[in-house]
Amino acid sequence: MENLFNDEVMALDTYIMVKLKEKTAQLADSLAKKNRAPIALSMGAPTANPPAMLIEKLKEFLTEDNIHTYSVTRGELYFRQAVAERMKNRFGVELDVNKEVFSLLGSKDGLANLIRFLINPKSDELEKEIILIPDPGYASYGQMVQCSGGKAFPIPLTAENNYMPDMEQVLGNLEAAGLDSKKVKAVIINYPNNPLGASATKEYVQSVIDFCKRHNYLLIADAAYCDLYFNEDEKPFSVLELKGAKDVAVELFSLSKPYAITGWRLGWMCGNAEVISRFGKAKSTIDNGIFKALQKACAYIMNSPEGEDYIAQGNAAYRRKQAIMVKGLKELGWEIDDAKLPHTTFYLWLPIPKKYDSSFKFCEDLLEKSGIVVVPGDAFGEYGKGFFRISYVCSDEKLQEVIDRMKADGFKY
Ligand SMILES: Cc1ncc(COP(=O)(O)O)c(C=O)c1O
């Protein structure tokens, strides 16, 4: 069977979250016996219940005529209209529902398919088409590019460049590595960023738009965390608010995190009409869109007072949870500068304790000794070495227990 599969796909490592889940499941019994039942701070998946009104609406729509039949790949008109309304109210962005909005089975579906529709697969390393990806960044980007027969090249996000690197410098790095900047097809940006929680200024993102225009690259903006923010005056913006964005960019949004419905699989892509049209043509050969009752329920919640209240309450809870973790980690010796803490997402990005020289080893020890599951920084790219990521998505009590276990089991910075 081995020879039957695509070499690039078979060369992929198992997805980090799957690996962590498998390892945790293997250890679950022995950890429970020593009073260290696993606490997952690994997945970026909210554990709260979704908005009650969303469930009500879903129940209501389940009995409608014609609701259980195929939808369409680009999404029902009511879903696309709801997206346009939200984009207008939230960001002041006007969208043509027929040309500039497309539904996704989660933003991961959009990213994976867009990437493979862009890349002409090549096996020769120097011939490969290139996508620039944030590093550290969402672990799937690199794997999606690799299994599409392309090459991912890092956009280094470091404290020194304030997580907003000069893109011409990135091209300089690429040429210095013996690669050809003409092979670059697209640039992915992700602000607020997973795993860092870092945000970008409008000036910076405008410079990335201008860069993409200059070089004829597609800009893919991943806005999965745009509704997870702590302060009203620091609300993340849409790339499409900026000058010339629609000429070069598409932006991907996700309903997974703001409404705690990671299992429902809903998102959308919007922006450049030609990209949406080409994407739609290819995508129509693959799926029939999202279950209509889900689209209808989400179309409701996206523009409702209940939806806004839910997001506000969720963000207040994440802010409180961040404070619990930061207080505890400081007691354990982590040097955390409050002024530099992220005000977005539900992630904390921290250096591993001084006595460790491997993020994997630290995360393995923390799991095996204390039943605490966190993600090694290397999983997010080469610039993630020496760090680990915490998702503070579980209850306040569990977060406190994490700190108590680390204290009791001798984990300190
Ligand atoms: C940066 C980023 N983009 C996209 C996704 C995918 O989200 P979904 O497919 O649930 O919309 C995730 C999930 O963790 C993410 O962290």
Distance, CA of 187 to CA of 202 (rounded, Å): 17
Q: What integer pLDDT is reported at residue 205 of this predicted model?
A: 98
Closest atom of ligand 1 to CA, residue 44: 14
Secondary structure element (H or E) that encloses residue 85, with its range: helix 77-91
Q: What integer pLDDT is reported at residue 257 of this predicted model?
A: 97
Positions of the chain with pLDDT lower than 70, given as ranges = none
CA 222 to ligand 1 centroid distance, Å: 8
Q: Is the peptide bond before 305 cis (omega within 30 degrees of 0)?
A: no
Q: What integer pLDDT is reported at residue 320 of this predicted model?
A: 98
Ligand 1, atom 13, lies closest to the CA of 44
Which token pair is 27?
């250890």
The β-bridge partners of 81 are none
Q: What integer pLDDT is reported at residue 3 of this predicted model?
A: 85
CA 46 to ligand 1 centroid distance, Å: 12
Closest atom of ligand 1 to CA, residue 111: 4
Ligand 1, atom 14, lies closest to the CA of 44
Q: Are 229 and 235 in contact (CB under 8 A)?
A: yes
- Residue 304 has what DSSP assignment? S
> How deeply is 369 buried, as exposed, middle or buried, from its count of CB atoms within 10 A (0-12, 13-18, 19+)?
middle
CA 200 to ligand 1 centroid distance, Å: 18
Closest atom of ligand 1 to CA, residue 104: 11
Give the dihedral of Cα atoms 365, 321, 229, 382; nearest 10 deg: -10
pLDDT digits (tens, 9 = 90+) for 330-340: 999 999 999 99
Distance, CA of 275 to CA of 290 (rounded, Å): 20
Q: How many CB atoms lie within 10 A of CB 98?
A: 11
Closest atom of ligand 1 to CA, residue 262: 10
Q: Are 231 and 215 in contact (CB under 8 A)?
A: no
CA 194 to ligand 1 centroid distance, Å: 9
Q: Which among 102, 155, 257 is the best mutation to test ligand 1's pocket, defined by most ligand atoms within 8 Å of the CB? A: 257
pLDDT digits (tens, 9 = 90+) for 58-87: 999 999 999 999 999 999 999 999 999 999
Q: What integer pLDDT is reported at residue 1 of this predicted model?
A: 85
Q: What integer pLDDT is reported at residue 310 of this predicted model?
A: 98
Q: What integer pLDDT is reported at residue 209 of this predicted model?
A: 98
Q: Which among 41, 43, 113, 140 is the best mutation to test ligand 1's pocket, defined by most ligand atoms within 8 Å of the CB? A: 140
Q: What integer pLDDT is reported at residue 9 of this predicted model?
A: 87
Q: Are 321 and 346 in contact (CB under 8 A)?
A: yes
| Domains observed in the chain | 2-37+307-408 (3.90.1150.10), 66-303 (3.40.640.10)
Closest CA to 321 of 303, 348, 339, 282: 348
pLDDT digits (tens, 9 = 90+) for 5-16: 988 888 888 888
Residues 6+ apart with CB under 8 A from 129: 118, 119, 120, 122, 150, 151, 183, 184, 185
Q: How many CA atoms lie within 13 A of 63 on its CB side?
A: 4
Q: What integer pLDDT is reported at residue 83 of this predicted model?
A: 98
Which token pair is 38?
């696993």
Q: What integer pLDDT is reported at residue 312 of this predicted model?
A: 97
Q: What integer pLDDT is reported at residue 105 of this predicted model?
A: 98
Secondary structure element (H or E) that encloses residue 48, with its range: none
Q: Which among 83, 109, 194, 345 is the best mutation to test ligand 1's pocket, defined by most ligand atoms within 8 Å of the CB? A: 194
Cα angle, residue 31 at apex, residues 27 and 37 outer, rounded to 5°: 110
Q: Are 350 and 390 in contact (CB under 8 A)?
A: yes
Which token pair is 126?
């120097």
Ligand 1, atom 6, lies closest to the CA of 108
CA 201 to ligand 1 centroid distance, Å: 21
CA 398 to ligand 1 centroid distance, Å: 24
What angle separates helix 16-33 from helix 359-370, to the nearest 10 degrees? 30
The binding-site residues of ligand 1, defined as CB within 6 angstroms of any ligand atom, are 44, 106-108, 138, 190, 194, 222, 224, 254, 256, 262, 267
- R_g of the chain, CA atoms, integer Å: 21
